[in-house]
Amino acid sequence: MNCAQTRQHLYDYIDGNLEPLQEQVLEQHISDCDHCKLLVEQESRFKDQLKSIPVAGPSMGFEQRVMAKLASQKSAQQIEQRGFMSQTWFAAAMGGAFMVFVLSWFTSFSNLVTTTVPTTLNAVTVELVPNQIRKVSLAFNSPSMIDKATFKIILPANVEISGHKGKRELQWASSLKQGTNHLALPLVATKLLVNEKSDQFITARISHEGKSRDFKIKVISKALQSGIQMEIMPIVDVS
């Protein structure tokens, strides 16, 4: 290799883009040629200088500020999503009697650690009068943010979610924020559930990244004169 060829491949050599054999030949020339040796040294030094150009670091708390802004945006999106859901269901619920039951289910869905169910909530009951709406608000307490979870509500016969007549299943995508997440279910019974042969359940299924967890609300029919009494029992079912 001569000086002209060395110059031609100079940057490839400095950038480490030469084949081993070419590199060997070039290095051989450099070891014999002071001019080319100086050229390589200088180009390498120049490249090092470029890398040494000082860059002012970010201001104090930059990462935290971006993360906080991100959390704020996420929260706004969740409120928007919840608002959309609530708007639809709340509007439907306004036609009938309105009652809120807050259940506090502690889920650790994303990392599947042991679920804790407060014992006092084992037997919350709600009475459904046929063709009148009762809004049951379920609270899922998640230890961390879960993106793009899928919610699915599976209903027993003769129980509907107001505004979704005749539908036994409803599914949508949403996110669980860290902390308490409320899900409002405006339930309505289409007739008295009396003398059913087996237990009936409303299932709230949350799926995320191929895993799912079911929360089953046991519906126990009682021959009440004015309606149906539902006994709500959170049953942990990790599948």
Partner 1 sequence: MSILNALKLRSPSFEDLIRPHLKGMYYQAYRFLKNQSDAEDLVQDFTLRLYKNKAKLHEIENLRSWLYKGLYRQFLNYIRDNTHNPLNNRDDTEDNDFESNVHHEYSPELLTEQEMELSRVEDALYKLSQNHHHIIIMHDIEGFTLAEIGEIMDTPIGTLKSRLHRARANLKHKLVMEPISPNQCVKS
Could you list the residues that contact partner 1 (CB under 8 A)?
11, 15, 17, 35, 38-39, 42-43, 46-47, 49-59, 62-63, 65-67, 69-70, 73-74, 110-113, 144-145, 147-148, 209
Distance set, CA 220 to CA 6, 40, 203 (Å): 88, 85, 14
Is the Cβ of residue 22 or residue 137 nearer to partner 1 in the bound state?
A: 22
Q: How far is CA 18 from the centre of its chain?
A: 47
Is the Cβ of residue 65 or residue 165 nearer to partner 1 in the bound state?
A: 65
Which letter does DSSP use for residue 57 in this model? Answer: P
**To the nearest whole angstrom, how small is the minimum distance from the Cβ of residue 78 to partner 1?**
12
DSSP per residue, 107-173: --TTTTPPPB--GGGTTEEEEE-TT-EEEEEEEEEESS-EEEEEEEEE--TTEEETTSTT-SEEEEE
* β-sheet bridge partners, residue 159: 189
60, amino acid identity: M
Alpha carbon distance 176, 109 (integer Å): 10
**To the nearest whole angstrom, how small is the minimum distance from the Cβ of residue 31 to partner 1?**
17
Is the Cβ of residue 58 or residue 179 nearer to partner 1 in the bound state?
A: 58
**To the nearest whole angstrom, how small is the minimum distance from the Cβ of residue 117 to partner 1?**
17
Helices and strands of the chain, counted as H and E runs: 5, 11
Is the Cβ of residue 74 or residue 164 nearer to partner 1 in the bound state?
A: 74
**To the nearest whole angstrom, how small is the minimum distance from the Cβ of residue 72 to partner 1?**
9
**To the nearest whole angstrom, how small is the minimum distance from the Cβ of residue 7 to partner 1?**
9
24, amino acid identity: Q
**To the nearest whole angstrom, how small is the minimum distance from the Cβ of residue 111 to partner 1?**
4
Which letter does DSSP use for residue 58 in this model? Answer: P
Is the Cβ of residue 20 or residue 210 nearer to partner 1 in the bound state?
A: 210
Is the Cβ of residue 43 or residue 214 nearer to partner 1 in the bound state?
A: 43
Alpha carbon distance 74, 169 (integer Å): 28
